[in-house]
Amino acid sequence: MNGTDVSAPVLERLAAEWDALTPEAQKAAAYVLENPREVGVSTVREIANAARVKPNTVVRMARQVGFEGYEDFREPFRDAIRRGGADFPDRARWLQDIRRAGGLGGLYADLATAAIRNLEQTFAAIPTEDLQAAAETIWSSRRVYTLGVGVQNANARNFTYLASTGMVQFHAIPRPGSTATDDLAWADTRDVLIAITLKPYRREVLEAVDLAREQGMRIVGLSDSPASPIIRGADHGFVLAADTPQFFPSSVSTIAVLETLLSFVIAVASDEIVDRVERFHSRRHRLGLYSQDPE
């Protein structure tokens, strides 16, 4: 258990009400207290069998601590799994439970499984040292151009937007009404290109990477294969897992790696960055851009 586990109050309530429970309900409560992760992925019958009581005993236990029934009682435990308050085997069982629910449960489980697997595979293959090296290259550069087209354009612009709250050298390309190759016309060895493209690889991105390499720019490539053209020629390459049951490639790993990379840039940057980010948001509050005052 940790401070973010939303099932903790339920367990505390069970312990507090212990003396008021019947002996059979205490057996059910003891199982829940000792195996809280099982509740979010188990039916009332499964919990009853494991606790060696009848299903209606589990229901009575749930009602005695303030819930309408077992499903209402189980929801905080399911939420704890969704928030990460359980290890991966428990998440896997939760996904299986969703699939058994029918309807769109199968699609939900497939999408959640793919997202979790993509993140695990992506981060397992990226050493901390590689992210730090890329971050140091980015921080030491004159300008940073972040390139993505199609759905990756939104990811590139989100990265650039976040970076711009504390740094001025980040530019998302292609700019409106321009082309990526034109936007790189005056870039040179002092600059960095962060290029993003997943299969099928976009020609505009490949051409821009080739041009950037000719101009001596340093390349940070994000793609979905070690054989990707932008990974093979990159100074810093990061391979993203992007499998998904839907038609379009998943952006989960792309966004996660970009957010991590930006965090590393801030970590290796000078101390003034934190102050600049705070000043940026204070300015927004003064201009009335937020509906609430800063805390």
Question: Could you tell me if 209 and 269 lie in one domain?
Answer: yes
Structural domains in the chain (count): 2
**Length of the chain measured in residues:** 295
Q: How far apart are CA 47 and CA 38, in angstroms?
A: 8
Strand partners, 196: 222
Parent domain of 257:
127-286
Question: Could you tell me if 13 and 47 lie in one domain?
Answer: yes
Q: Rounded to the nearest 5°, which phi and psi values hold at 293? A: -75, 150
Q: Would you state the structure tokens that stand for residue 111, as one six-digit string? A: 């999408």
Below-70 pLDDT ranges, the chain: 1-7, 81-104, 247, 292-295
What single-letter DSSP state applies at residue 19?
G
Give the CATH number, domain containing residue 80.
1.10.10.10
Q: Given this model, what pLDDT does residue 102 score?
A: 64
Task: Please report how the helices 151-163 and 252-268 are oriented relative to each other, as an axis angle in degrees rounded to 10.
Answer: 20
Give the CATH number, domain containing residue 255.
3.40.50.10490
Task: Let me know: does 164 contact 170? Beta carbons within 8 Å.
Answer: yes
Of 101, 119, 150, which residue sits at a domain end?
A: 101
The percent of the chain in helix, strand and coil, each rounded to the nearest 5, is 55, 10, 35
Question: Could you tell me if 81 and 26 lie in one domain?
Answer: yes
Question: Among residues 141, 134, 147, 144, which one has the least CA distance to residue 206?
Answer: 147
